[in-house]
């Protein structure tokens, strides 16, 4: 089941711990208890987790996509920032997804992705028909694989999914956000010291790359993921560019009042 934004801080517990409630909540409406739960979940999966940096990053964001279990525990979240960037004289809108984590017991469950696509659809609707891009810096193959699994074209990619014309948009956004930390030749964002990266026991990219071509591409594109280097990626949020499952949730978000 899904919940409205105002339900998420006080979600009713159910008799079914496998059930979930999901939706969005404004960052300014997060309680200290909720922030504590989010950080505990984050540091369970990420090395170099720092509470001050976590709070600083959260303060930049506008919205959190939040998932709770039937027992009321936070089991997943993703943070969202909406920005605008001048690209060759035109302003483009982008959704930047920041810290994102889902409890490993729910990997393979689309609950967080569905809520995230609904949130993106609501943002798209608010633009009144204007373009909206998803910009993200990715340190793990599971996040990267959202691109081929849910989008028809994106950048970077190793096959005909690739849309090189998106590279210019990605590069402008990445350079504006990260300055010299971003290398447009490789698409990598390297902060030197890690700003937070998946703990090795959760990364699993080398094992997955043997059987998954997109994981293999991610590993070639970002061989330094293990020390917190991120790969800058972009795709357009548009129903014509979304595959079936992403399009369904995105359209639900666009239709929300």
Domains and CATH numbers, the chain: 5-255 (3.40.630.30)
The pTM score is 0.88
**pLDDT for 5 beyond 50:** no
What pLDDT was estimated at residue 198?
62
Q: Report residue 205's pLDDT band, with 50, 70 and 90 as the boundaries.
A: low
Query: Which tokens is 20 given?
Result: 């979930």
**pLDDT for 202 beyond 80:** no
pLDDT tens, residue by residue, 107-148: 778 889 999 999 999 999 999 878 999 999 998 888 898 999
**pLDDT for 4 beyond 50:** no
Rama region for 97: left / alpha / beta (φ>0; ψ in -120 to 50; rest): beta
Query: Which tokens is 97 given?
Result: 């997804």
- Can you state the angle between helices 32-45 and 51-60, rounded to 10 degrees? 120
Q: Report residue 209's pLDDT band, with 50, 70 and 90 as the boundaries.
A: confident
What pLDDT was estimated at residue 197?
64
């Amino acid at each position: 089941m899904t919940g409205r934004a105002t339900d998420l801080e006080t979600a009713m517990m159910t008799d079914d711990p496998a059930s979930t409630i999901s939706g969005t909540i404004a960052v300014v409406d997060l309680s200290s208890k909720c922030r504590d739960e989010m950080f505990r979940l984050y540091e369970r999966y990420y090395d170099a987790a720092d509470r001050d940096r976590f709070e600083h990053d959260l303060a930049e964001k506008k919205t959190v996509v939040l998932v709770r279990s039937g027992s009321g525990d936070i089991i997943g979240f993703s943070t969202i920032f909406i920005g605008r960037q001048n690209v060759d004289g035109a302003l483009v809108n982008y959704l930047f997804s920041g810290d994102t984590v889902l409890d490993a017991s729910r990997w393979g469950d689309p609950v967080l992705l569905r809520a995230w696509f609904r949130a993106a659809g609501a943002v798209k609707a608010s633009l009144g028909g204007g373009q909206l891009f998803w910009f993200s810096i990715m340190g793990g193959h599971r996040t990267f694989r959202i691109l081929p699994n849910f989008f028809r074209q994106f950048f970077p990619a190793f096959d005909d999914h690739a849309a090189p014309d998106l590279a210019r948009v990605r590069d402008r956004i990445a350079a504006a956000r990260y300055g010299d930390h971003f290398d447009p030749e490789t698409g990598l964002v390297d902060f030197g010291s890690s700003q937070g990266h998946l703990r090795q026991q959760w990364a699993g990219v080398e094992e997955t790359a043997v059987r998954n071509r997109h994981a293999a591409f991610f590993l070639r594109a970002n061989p330094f993921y293990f020390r917190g280097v991120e790969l800058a990626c972009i795709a357009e949020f548009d129903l014509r560019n979304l595959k079936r499952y992403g399009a369904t949730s995105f359209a639900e978000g666009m239709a929300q009042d």
